[in-house]
Amino acid sequence: MLAVPYQTMTHDQWTAVDEFIARRLHERDEALDAALAASAEAGLPAIQVSPCHGKMLHLLARAMGARRILEIGTLGGYSTIWLARALPTGGRLISLEANPKHAEVARANIARAGLAGAVEVRLGRALDTLPQLAAEQAGPFDLFFIDADKEHIAEYFDWAIRLGRPGSLILVDNVVREGAVLDAESADTAVQGVRRFIERLGRDQRVSATVVQTVGVKKYDGFALAVITAATARTP
Ligand code: SAH
Ligand code: DHB
Ligand code: MG
């Protein structure tokens, strides 16, 4: 039974529950705290994944035994640290970031977390650096986290499939946008980018996918999960 009727639930309550969970289930974490403090100090926007979603990324990477991870959209490296900590010895994470200041802050945060040896932050627009990765034969990656500009999600998703293998997991952040994803007439280019991605995802024979809606400190949003299937066999 709900403690409060749904209509009266607020962002304050979602935040309080996120904090309740994190306090009980997460260890104190100096590297992550320092990464958030340094990011705020440098004036980066506080749009990183929530602690609970960061840990979820970490657990998914661990559960699938991901050895190679590709992230698109680094910011200050908060999600990067959560993901990279799931890597086994010898595992690698590459994170793509267009903003030089974000990349610099992230590299320092990642080094402070003791992960510099496993993580490369590659500077440049993802639509420029993704073809570089393909040319270098940097894949196949086991896990992708797509979390950069929302206008190009569909293109990033196509690159993920190209750089993945059957069984790779592709996660895409921020695809519900407080329900704005339903608004076909939205003037918000991020909403249109997400809508274009979802429409294509539904027709994509190369993956099996769903979207999970979420509430919490980051309000009402959601993420897409897709597993790359064999090109011929579409599974439910
Ligand atoms: N994944 C991070 C948050 C990323 S915020 C976390 O959860 O901790 C989105 C990031 O994508 C920003 O740092 C922004 O500079 C970057 N970005 C925006 N457009 C980009 C592009 N075309 N290529 C690469 N990065 C881009
Ligand atoms: C924004 C981007 C994100 O990746 C996110 O998780 C929240 C907000 C943004 O661009 O506003
Ligand atoms: Mg995001």
Residue nearest to ligand 2 atom 1, measured at CA: 47
Name the residues around ion ligand 3, CB cutoff 5 A: 147, 173-174
Nearest to 61 by CA among 86, 78, 80, 28: 86
**C-beta 174 within 6 A of ligand 2:** yes
Q: Identify the nearest ligand to the CA of 219 by its number.
A: 2
Please tell me the predicted confidence (pLDDT) of residue 230. 78
Q: Which CATH superfamily is domain 32-228 in?
A: Vaccinia Virus protein VP39 (3.40.50.150)
Mutate to test the pocket of ligand 2, among 53, 146, 174 (most ligand atoms within 8 A of CB): 174
Q: In what order do the strands lie in the sheet with 68-72?
A: 119-123, 92-97, 68-72, 143-146, 169-172, 221-228, 207-214
Give the residues of the chain that fall short of pLDDT 70: 1-8, 231-236
Q: Which of 105, 97, 88 is nearest to 70 (CA)?
A: 97
Distance (Å) from CA 28 to ligand 1 centroid: 26
pLDDT at residue 231, as a whole number: 61
What confidence score (pLDDT) does residue 232 get? Answer: 47
Q: Which residues line ligand 1 (CB under 6 A)?
A: 47-49, 73-75, 78-79, 96-99, 102, 125-126, 147-149
Nearest CA to ligand 1 atom 3: 48
CB-ligand 2 contact for 180 (6 Å cutoff): no
In single-letter form, the type of residue at position 42 comes to: A
pLDDT, tens only, 122-166: 999 999 999 999 999 999 999 999 999 999 999 999 999 999 999
Measure the N-to-C terminal CA separation of the chain; round to a whole number of Å: 31
